[in-house]
Amino acid sequence: MAQSRIKNEIVQTIDLGCLKTFVGLLKFKINDMKKLFLATTLLMSSMIFGQLHIDTFYQNKNEFLIYSIVKEFDSLPQEVLNTKVKNWGSTNFVNMSEVLVGETKEQLVFNYISKSFYTKTLGMVTTRSWYIRMVVQIKDNKIKISMYDDGNCFWPGSYSGGVSVPATSARLYKIADYFGKKGTCMKMYNGGLQDFKSSCLHTVDDLVLSIKSNTENKDKDGWR
């Protein structure tokens, strides 16, 4: 009887020890799973959302204004500046007659297509052609250049791997639509949006440089 009682106590002790060990392992696994879930969530967030914010992309998001700047020049009246801007446009755009959509002595409006914006999905790059409205306001000795997001171009439909993608009408979307509720864009758009804005800034710089070079670098016959 004594041996049987001792045996039962040993079995109960072993069972209790095993139970404690199991509970400990279970707690460890639960904590481990929580940490793993948190790390995965943070990783996915960093993969999905980039650093570009809508207020960084737009100078005025309510007006879809990407960039605006005033540039001053010495001894260049309004009429001369107007001509210089149009001369720049004729060399910068192949179809100047179609791109120049508004013209007065105080203001020139260009509407052109940029192919700098792209998206990345599973390593595949898709170019998104986009309209930019460039407004150049002109006064004596100064101009104001404003670059506006004028919406997407027409995107034709496609069919691949049994999946049909319908065509997208022109100007259905603005760049603002690529930013989330918190104003942050998804990482798949981040690089394309940065390149798109850089392209706008480059166009502005190119115009200003053209005006300055036409003014400062002339030979004896009046040519550059």
Q: What is the CATH number of the domain that holds 191?
A: 3.30.530.80
This prediction has a pTM of 0.74
The pLDDT assigned to 159 comes to: 80
| pLDDT on residue 165 | 84
pLDDT of amino acid 162: 82
- pLDDT at position 218: 53
pLDDT in the model for residue 102? 97
Measured CA to CA, the distance from residue 204 to residue 200 in angstroms comes to: 6
pLDDT value of residue 223: 53
Q: Report yes or no on 173 lying in a domain.
A: yes
Write down the pLDDT at residue 42: 39
pLDDT of residue 216: 55
The answer as to whether 224 is a domain residue is no
Range of the domain at 158: 51-216
Residue among 201, 182, 165 at smallest CA distance from 48: 182
- Residues of the chain short of pLDDT 70, as ranges, are 1-50, 214-224
Which three-class secondary structure string do you get for the chain?
CHHHHHHHHHHHHHHHHHHHHHHHHHHHHHHHHHHHHHHHHHHHHHHHEEEEEHHHHCCECCCCEEEEEEEECCCCCHHHHHHHHHHHHHHHCCCHHHHEEEECCCEEEEEEEECCCEEEECCEEEECCEEEEEEEEEECCEEEEEEEEEEECCECCEEECCEEECCECCCCCCHHHHECCCCEEEHHHHHHHHHHHHHHHHHHHHHHHHHHHHHHCCCCCCCC
11 is a domain residue: no
Task: Answer whether residue 28 is part of any domain.
Answer: no
In a domain, 203, yes or no: yes
107: which 2 tokens? 């203001």
For the chain, the domain total comes to: 1
**Is 14 inside any structural domain?**
no
Conformation bin of residue 171: beta by default, left when phi > 0, alpha when psi is -120 to 50: left
pLDDT tens-digit series, residues 103-128: 999 999 999 999 999 998 888 899 99
pLDDT at 32: 56
Evaluate whether residue 206 is within a structural domain.
yes
Asked, for residue 8, whether it belongs to a domain, the answer is no
